[in-house]
Structure 1
Amino acid sequence: MTAIADAFPEVEAEVEKIVSALKPVGSCNVQLRINKKGKPTAFEINARFSSSVAIRAHFGFNEVEATLRSFLFGEEIKALSLRKGVAMRYFNEVYIEREEMDNILVRGESRPFSKIEEHF
């Protein structure tokens, strides 16, 4: 998964339209795709923090902190000033033989030439 942190006026306008209509309390995750006509189209809306919360925090908006400050202390959430950037997320699997796992768990040892394979 690749996420681009930047200004996307058409996406922002679509999200504003959705949020204005639904008036969610707290976090609202709107997932969109750009359709064949080049327009952002929502396909899923969730009243929760999304898995990209860490990405937004890295680029300047700590959504969890802002939400807690709003609910607990009545603080207004300030206008966003985000840094531009790219986040890349990937899935990785590691495979080891059962005997190796037993060596590690039971005896606290591994063979010097044990093999750990990574597949993408």
Structure 2
Amino acid sequence: MKCKKCKASLISGVKCNVCLSYYHTSCGKLLSKGKFNSEDVILCCNRPCSPFTEDTTPEPNDIIDLSNITEPVDATMFKYVMQQKDVIIEELRSKIDLLQEKICLLEQLEKERQKLS
């Protein structure tokens, strides 16, 4: 993990519950918008919702940073992964339907070609 402010490696620090960013405690205190809720929780941004909603897509590096955490996966991350799984499944089903239509058309074309020969 890396501190969002100084980009240095992070062994211990505070976490923003809104954007799920991590900071050294000292870096978190330097944030102008930063407000500590407890010793290890900070609100570093004014966003009212979780970063993993249907309207926003996290940066790939954010996902990689979160995947390196040894803590249990929180509910927002789990919800985001489940939503993405559903989107992928829906897209794959759509592609399967298109491929099945193409197969039917190719079979019809082959039958017509055989009739002409």
* TM-score of the pair, normalised by structure 1: 0.25
Larger Rg over CA atoms:
2
The answer to which structure has the higher helix fraction is 2
